[in-house]
Every structure is written in C-alpha cells, then in structure tokens.
Amino acid sequence: DVVYNILIDQWTKSSTPLHCTAHSLNPRYYSKEWLNAVSGHVSPHKDVELSEERNKCLRRYFLDVEERRLVNQEIARFSGGLDAFGSFDSLEDRWVLDPKAWWLVHGSSAPILQNLALKPLGQPSSSSCCKRNWSTYSFIHSMRRNKISPKRADDLVFIHTNLCLLSRNDADYKQGECKLWDIGGDAFDSFDNGAGVLEIASLSLDEPTMETMLFTDDGDGNDDAVTLES
C-alpha cells in the first residue's frame, strides 16, 4: 500500500490540467508510429482523463466563451487531422519534427492554438530550478537544525523563494548597492553594455570543477601531493 500510494502521488503531480494540455497538444502522440509502438496507446483526444483535464485548463486560460469556442474548433481540426492539419507533410512530420518545430511549420491555420501550444512545448528541460531549491533547503534544514518538520521546511523554502521573486518588484531592485543581486551579484554594473551582462551573470548549469588533493607516500617519509580535477 505504501508503494502504491507513492506511485499514485507521483502520477497525480504529473496529471495537472497544464500537463494534460501539453500532452494533448504534442503532435507526436497522434502519429501512427507512436500509436502502433505499444498496444493500448490511444490519441490524447480519445483519453477521457486527458480530455477532462485539458478542458479545465482551457476554461481557466480562456475566460471569454467565444474565444474558447474558437479554440475548441481548432483543437478539433488538429486532433482529427482536418483541413490543413490533414496534409501529407503535416501528418508525416508529427513523428519526425520536434513538437515546437511542428507547430511553427504547420500551426499557422490555428493561430490561437499555435500560440498556446508553443508556451508549454517550447520550455527547455533543466534541473537548475531543482538545484536552486535544494540549495535553499540546505540553508534551512541542516545538521544543526534537523528538528524542523518536513512540512515546516517546505513552507520556509516556499516563502523564501517567493520573497525573492517579490523583491524584483521593489524599486531598490534596479538601483542602489543591491541592484539585480540575483543576476550578477556584487560584480554587476548595469545593462548599458547590452549583451556584455552575459559575461558577468552566472548562467551556467554545469557543476563547478572541483580539485582534489591526493597524498602519496613513497616509503621514505616524503609525501607528494597530486592535484586531480573532477
């Protein structure tokens, strides 16, 4: 039961209306290659749960009834491969092209849906946000402060992260000694140099290079130090 509950919790986190909408707008999941790859694969518009969650997202995103009706018409043409979506290149490229590229090439006949699809499908996958979250967590929960409950620690991380985001709306964020502190730190000057800010800002997602000292004993009492990079 414990393992089952963990699996259900993980599935629930990945079955939000936004996730289901992104899945429904991915042309690869409508291609014959994907549908025939595994027995039981069905197109997203034939999945009841996906369709319900997608409709929830659309109701929240498009508050105007007329605009939402136009979006539903575009979804119907996209899902059914109708009109321009039924051309040979459009159907064949569903499996070949990257989802974002597919919408850029074949989505012009559905401008509202194209604009919506490019937002979730165009986001790069990166672990940098997780690393920053763990870094914040390490400041709050440490060996000396290890009696904090997981719920309280999560709340403190949530508050800290959102306070940092709210600080960007403050007037002092763009001026004074602490301006743009989360971009370039103390070395930051201004945006006047254009792209030169990239030379200052720490934008790398790679782990820093660590140096390890290895001491060897030759038997004569002389220790030699060798520097290793990892």
Question: In this structure, what token pair is assigned to residue 213?
Answer: 């000292």
Question: Residue 74 — pLDDT band, cuts 50, 70, 90?
Answer: very high
In the block, which residue shows the tokens 């393992």? 3
Nearest Cα neighbor of 191 from 205, 207, 199, 98 is: 199
* Mean pLDDT of the residues in the chain: 80
Question: Which three-class secondary structure string do you get for 156-201?
Answer: HHHHHHHHHHHHCCCHHHHCCCCCCHHHHHHHCCCCCCHHHHHHCC
Q: Specify the 3-state DSSP secondary structure of 189.
A: coil
Q: Across the strands, what pairs with 121? A: none
Q: Is the pLDDT confidence value at 229 over 60? A: no
What would the pLDDT profile of 46-55 be if each residue is shown by its tens digit?
A: 999 999 999 9
What would the pLDDT profile of 101-112 be if each residue is shown by its tens digit?
A: 999 999 999 999
Domain ranges of the chain: 2-121
What would the pLDDT profile of 116-162 be if each residue is shown by its tens digit?
A: 999 999 877 767 777 777 788 888 887 777 788 888 888 988 898 88
Q: From the CB of residue 229, how many other CB atoms can be counted at a distance below 10 Å?
A: 7
Q: Is the pLDDT confidence value at 205 over 60? A: no
How far, in Å, are 185, 218, 219, 222, 230 from residue 215 at the CA level? Answer: 36, 10, 12, 10, 16
Q: What is the pTM of this model?
A: 0.59
Question: Which three-class secondary structure string do you get for 120-156?
Answer: HHCCCCCCHHHHHHHHHHHHHCCCCCCCCCHHHHHHH
Q: Specify the 3-state DSSP secondary structure of 203.
A: coil
Alpha carbons 209 and 105: distance in angstroms, whole number: 41
What would the pLDDT profile of 183-202 be if each residue is shown by its tens digit?
A: 654 454 555 554 444 444 44
Q: From the CB of residue 117, how many other CB atoms can be counted at a distance below 10 Å?
A: 25
Query: Given this model, what pLDDT does residue 184 score?
Result: 53
**C-beta separation of 81 from 52 below 8 A:** no
